[in-house]
Chain A
Amino acid sequence: MKLTIERATLLAALGHVQNVVERRNTIPILSNVLVSAGDGQLSMTATDLDLTIVERVASEARQSGATTTPAHTLYDIVRKLPEGAQVELSTGKDDARLAIVAGRSSFSLPCLPKEDFPAQTDDKLPTRFRVAAEDLRRLIDKTRFAISTEETRYYLNGIYLHAAKSAGVAMLRAVATDGHRLAQVESPLPDGAAGMPGVIVPRKAIAELRRLIDQVADPIEVSLSDTKMRFSFGQTVLTTKLIDGTFPDYQRVIPSDNDKTLEVDCRRFAEAVDRVSTISTEKSRSIKLTIGKDRLQLSATSPEAGSASEEMEVSYPGDSLEIGFNSKYLLDIATQIDGDIARIDLADAVSPTIVRDLGDERALYVLMPMRV
């Protein structure tokens, strides 16, 4: 293999793939990135066995070939090279070393054979559709905070993505929950996604995908089977395994008959919750909402830290009610709401509560109360 490439192009591509490679790896080949040149392009592949990323950049190789070399070291070298440098990558006869030459710097990195690299098998991914990058970002952003980190309930360690009907309209729906709160966000169902199996996309894949599509403007190609999912955008292809489990029947926990409706100014509400929660103890972080006609009092007391209370004006016609929540969860949800007014539907002090953005009917949050 022998080719010359501009530093910035190489750095951008390496920057995308190197993040997938675990820092501490007991398996040498998994610390490596597969670099392969040919057909007018340079491709770089990295994997942690669950997640594989391939990045392709146009580059005319003088000699095609492929090898694997430590990803983080290669990235660090390229990062430290001066801007605008032309980088030459080449392997010797026996492919045992990768030589990197730029100006008067030269490096030689150990290689492992490309045959030992866990390459992606050519899978059959029958369902294919294109989703707007903006929609995908929104689906992720508004739900990922609710993903569970509890490893024993592994089937909650991801976002459940599926096709669903909402008021008779077909939607692509993302749901995440950790058993205490739930986030459900929808976007129009793309063409070709109607028959898609419901899949749970693991947390690490979500984080990586979100990072990579931050600046993407073009639609994202999605293809999936019930065991794998692939996202293609620009020069990047990200393939992930899925979580092998059944997502709970979440619709059962979304109440439909919460009759007490509280409407609050979302920004002021979030600030008040944040202020009062200063007092609530580390562990439970509970905060009490005392709701009366058009008035809401937030309060917290803790034996050690003292007490706090704040009142605010709201719109609430119903009977008075006292209800407790985890202040962190309340804040998390309040942060997701972009509109001015949040609508909170309550039943009683022990039943699940629904929070909605008055300006966005496609997002819905469910929160379990705490006993206070």
Chain B
Amino acid sequence: MAKEPVREDAAEHPRRTPGLVGHSAAQSLLLRRVADGRLAHAWIFSGPRGIGKATLAYRFARHLLSRRDSGSEVSLFGEPSTQSLEVPAESSVFRLVAQGAHPDLITVERAYDEKAKRLRGEISVDDVRRLTPFFGTTASGEGWRVAIVDSVDDLNRNAANALLKILEEPPERGVLILIAHTRGAVLPTIRSRCATLTMAPLAASEVAAVLQGHVGDLDPQAMAEVVTLAHGSPGRAIELAQSGGAAVYRDMVGLLGASPKGLDIAAVHELADRASHRGNDEQFRVLSDLLVEWLASMIAAGASGRAFRAIIEGEEGVAEKLWRSRGLAQWLEVWEKVRDRLVQSEALNLDRKQTLIDVFLSLDHVSRA
């Protein structure tokens, strides 16, 4: 039996997640569209990683798949007859969707590579082409057929073009939900054929609530740190909490603080080792994201003259010191370079540890001059 693909950026696969925190406006918009009978055939759910786009997509899919349109009464004022997208977790639709075994739902995500024993880096054209026979076959129930593409960011060029073919001839009673972490990066030809639902990051209290439910025993201090670092994304908060993100952050700021006097090479190696462990993809992404974001907020604080929003003690001093060592233009250049290096190392499959060491060394070098 093939191993089930694991979605790397969530603690639990969203198709098994019953509840959704926040996003009430998005949910009621979808409900209204279904009730009006004016549901677009393709949607882009866009917003930052980990805020619940896929969770909403599956929630919406379950709602559509449980609808019995033929018997239901249409309200005079087009008000939704049901007030919620909620489908009970014990219902058969929920159970089948959770198993990935609902006949009228198909998910396109990065496939599991048997040979390399890990998820593929992208969604290939063959994965997308599975949609053609799916939409070419009648629904098993009497209702909708739903396809979820998670995510558009993972589509390679050919896969995106194959998806376009399907969007150009939308199937009857079919809905395509495209999940996009970066709406701007979606091909304009795809974007123009979809309705967009922009989802905003959650409030800190909501993030904390989700985090509590998933991780539980976290001391208030660590909880607050993680929530702040998560920028309104519960998925990211969970990831940070589980991968010891707060500690990584502390170590990272510590390393940056040692410049320009002298970088602790042993500590750099130790941190890079931890973050580049094979089979531990999220560690590397957590550290890269934290580093790029930290540099960005350091530059923003420096350039605007506002205070640096410190999460751990002494952080503003580190930021202040680094900022003074160089000018705005140079820092922007450094920030861009660091970001590109980290993205490239994934795209080109470079050695992660080397990349990280190199980035820290070059930051150290910049701050010395």
Contact = CB atoms under 8 A, between A and B. Distances in A.
Q: Do A and B bind each other?
A: yes
Interface of A: 24-31, 47, 49-50, 70, 115-119, 121, 151-152, 154-155, 157, 202, 226-228, 241-245
Given A50-B137, A244-B136, A28 B172 contact: no
Q: Chain B CB within 10 Å — which of A26, A31, A117, A152 has the most?
A: A26
Interface string B112-131: 10000000000000000100
Nearest to A49: B103
Nearest to B139: A227
A24 to B, nearest CB: 6
Nearest to B136: A154
22 contacts: A26-B4, A27-B100, A27-B101, A31-B1, A49-B140, A70-B1, A116-B96, A116-B101, A118-B101, A118-B103, A152-B132, A154-B133, A202-B137, A227-B138, A227-B139, A228-B138, A242-B138, A243-B137, A244-B137, A244-B138, A244-B171, A245-B136
Contacts of B141: 121
Nearest to A48: B103
A31 to B, nearest CB: 6
B144 interface: no
Q: Is the interface of A mostly helix, strand, loop or mixed?
A: loop
B136 A155 contact: yes
A257 B12 CA distance: 66
Nearest to A152: B132
Q: Chain A CB within 10 Å — which of B100, B132, B138, B172 has the most?
A: B138
Contact of B140 (A30, A121, A155, A243): A121
A28 B136 contact: no
A49 to B, nearest CB: 4
B147 to A, nearest CB: 14
A27 B2 CA distance: 8
A173 to B, nearest CB: 20
The 9 closest A-B pairs by CB, nearest first: A154-B136, A227-B138, A49-B103, A27-B100, A244-B138, A242-B138, A116-B99, A29-B99, A29-B101
A244 B170 CA distance: 13
Contacts of A115: 92, 95
Contacts of A28: 1, 4, 99
Given A151-B132, A151-B133, A118 B1 contact: no
Interface in B159-192: 171-172
Contacts of B92: 115, 119
Contact of B136 (A118, A121, A157, A228): A157
Given A25-B2, A28-B1, A119-B92, A241 B137 contact: yes
A89 B101 CA distance: 26
Given A26-B2, A241-B137, A118 B102 contact: yes
Given A50-B137, A241-B137, A154 B132 contact: yes
A47 B139 CA distance: 15
Nearest to B104: A49
Contacts of A119: 92
A30 B96 CA distance: 11
B249 interface: no
B170 to A, nearest CB: 13
A118 B132 CA distance: 22
A118 B93 CA distance: 9
Contacts of A29: 99-101
Contacts, number: 77
Contact of A151 (B129, B138, B172): B129
Nearest to A30: B101
Interface of B: 1-2, 4-5, 92, 95-96, 98-103, 112, 129, 132-133, 135-142, 171-172
Contacts of A27: 4, 99-101
Q: Is the interface of B mostly helix, strand, loop or mixed?
A: loop
A243 B138 contact: yes
A47 B102 CA distance: 11
A155 B169 CA distance: 14
B132 to A, nearest CB: 6
A242 B99 contact: no
A152 B125 CA distance: 13
Contacts of B132: 151-152, 154
Q: Chain B CB within 10 Å — which of A25, A47, A227, A244 has the most?
A: A244
Contacts of B103: 47, 49-50, 118, 241
Contacts of A241: 103, 137-140
A31 B3 CA distance: 12
Contacts of B138: 226-228, 241-244
B367 to A, nearest CB: 49
Given A116-B96, A157-B136, A244-B135, 14 more contacts: A27-B100, A49-B103, A49-B140, A115-B92, A115-B95, A116-B98, A116-B99, A118-B102, A121-B140, A151-B129, A151-B132, A157-B133, A242-B137, A244-B137
A49 B135 contact: no
A49 B5 CA distance: 19
Nearest to B142: A227
A121 B95 CA distance: 14
Given A151-B133, A202-B137, A244 B172 contact: yes
Contacts of A30: 101
A140 B112 CA distance: 38
Contacts of B96: 116, 118
Nearest to B140: A241
B44 to A, nearest CB: 24
Contacts of B172: 244
B358 to A, nearest CB: 38
Nearest to B171: A244
B5 to A, nearest CB: 7
Nearest to A112: B99
A282 to B, nearest CB: 26
B165 to A, nearest CB: 8
A27 B4 CA distance: 7
